[in-house]
Structure 1
Amino acid sequence: MAEPPGRPAPLIRFEGVTKSFGAARAVAGVDLDIAQGEFFCLLGPSGCGKTTLMRTLAGFETPDSGRILLDGADLAGVPAHRRPVNMMFQSYALFPHMSVEANIAFGLRQDGVPRAEIAERVAAIVRTVQIQGLEKRRPHQLSGGQKQRVALARALVKRPLVLLLDEPLAALDRKLREDTRFELKELQARLGLTFLMVTHDQDEAMAMADRIGVMEKGRLVQVGAPAEVYETPATRGVAAFVGDSTLIEGVAGAFDGAAARLRVRAALGASSPEFVVAAREAPAEGSAVTLALRPEKLRLWTEPPEAGTPNVLEAEVWDLGYLGDKTLVRLRLPGGGTVRVSRLNASRRPEAGLSAHQRAWIGFDPADAVLLTR
């Protein structure tokens, strides 16, 4: 596949890669390009195929069909230990009987690197990941964050073209995990390496990745920058998995091409309100559509809004969840179902005017609903 003039060839290319385990299809015809120096994340729920796809690049799994190219070279037949990639495992997989220094140096010794060069490279990577003073300790003497840094140093010391990260922060507590996200991103940018990360944690993907590839049932259903994936999800599955969304099923109505507005008759139990949403193209009138509504995009009133306000529904406050920086309000709709509204806590008395079972009104701007047809 030739590249368009002026566009550099990708460092990593998956071409129609498939992989099955017995009758179960883990990866189904994935095509994907990853650029040199990119921090790319494969995101999806457990069992969607993201780890299997990464393991085919590492050489731990062999595709049933398709090709994987690394820096223009076909990896077919190249054993895992001969590929210029290194993987940091979720469990860290440190050797318990070895010191930190020996753990980091292990791969270099296996490759027959001279002793003086090993010492120099280990010392350099220890400084890079900031674990000076821990070289003589054993893994059981380290905290979770320190173990994570040692595993990272061991993966980086061999200077791979690509670093593969399998749920790299899963074993850390929440505060350390949040801090480490930015450290990893900063380190990747400083080293100029290509990182390919697998995670089911959408917050990790959004905070760290240059681009995200969302997988569903072995297929890559959307690739884009974090803001693109969040604001314009391609499928119902992406809208439900990436961030929080209320999904409202409906039927497409009349389309006003001049105003780029589509009327949608929502199916809300016994109620069938009509909404107006922004749409670049009109689905067939009468076809099934879904509206994805993000909690932070919804407005909430405790008194009826002004006449003519678009897309308003009367509801009942069900409960309130105080989350520190915001409050999540769940409301019951008259025809059944619930909707979630997120409100920032700008004062020390959050949501003082709301209580359970209270009448309320919710609404959204036509541009803030995402129209989904698949």
Structure 2
Amino acid sequence: MTRITIVSDAWHPQVNGVVRSIENTNRELTRMGVEVCMVTPKDFANIPCPTYPEIRLSIATFGQVAHAIEATLPTAIHIATEGPLGIIARRWCLKNRMPFSTSYHTRFPEYVSARFPVPLRWLHAFVRWFHNAGNGCMVATASLERELSRLGIRNLLRWSRGIDQTVFHPMERNDNPFGLPRPIFITVGRVAVEKNLPAFLDLDLPGSKVVVGDGPARADLQKRYPNVLFTGMKTGNELAEAYAQADVFVFPSKTDTFGNTILEALASGVPVAAYPVTGPVDIIEEGSGAGAMSEDLREACLSALRCSRESARLLARKFTWEAATRQFLSNVLTAQNRSLLAAPVLPKDSNRLIGPA
């Protein structure tokens, strides 16, 4: 049996695209008969991330992480994030000559530099150091693949995303959703600096603006924009209902590598307005009628109002978690079978063999 150990610094109680992507992938892998083991901050002592307390940073020694990985008896290892656990797992794999894959979920350099005064060139060097040690780095889109290739990252593999269309789908619409006048312009996601929310909230638009989500910037933005409805975090059916009531989904971020929320909106029959950047340009097909992109976000929002809800729904049907997970599994096995590293060897005190099945 294939047994994949996924090491991720992003995990519950976080609610974000990384966590949802891993959750959905794990569900589909299980259906395919693949056993999945997780190594996450929940397994270790952890502290809140400075400026973003919802993110937990593990305080773990090399020995503790090594024990956690070895206990899972993996036939393959995937390192999902560049955080403390990811760095230690990378070291363990190299020490034990265990091939591994990684994934690039977030524009890590831009994310860090938005919070701390670290030069981007240093962060780009870190990203190369981290991902080039593995046998494959998974990216969600063609435009991101080109971008990372220019940065010098090798062995890039495509891993798209999917959408659960049994949860996100068109629903009956109210005349005054959220108790607000239409049209409803909605955005969903972390309320944090990297999401570029003021670019949306500053726009002069008809109707009402709604922000669904929570995060470190919420309190400040609520004070700055008293006419905007901040609902807090929603999940499951409540989130699906919020999407379905919107007239336009606005995606102001310029730093996301894909944008799972774009798919959730499209599946709900909601046209998307966005900047023409990585993520939106890879999902919103030109001429699809499912959304609008422009360097002028207000222009994109008003154009999206004229787009077809049915076209949005049809575009979303092209993205399934089953197809995305088959990509992921193929990538993991490709990385595992590449002969860049010798067969894995465990520490002398271990009598277990961990390696390709």
TM-score range, shorter chain: under 0.3
Structure with greater proportional strand content: 1
TM value normalised by structure 2? 0.26
Tell me the TM-score normalised to structure 1 length: 0.25
Comparing both chains, which one has the higher relative contact order based on Cα–Cα distances under 8 Å and sequence gaps of 6 or more?
A: 2
The structure with the greater share of residues assigned to helix is: 2
Structure having the higher Rg: 1
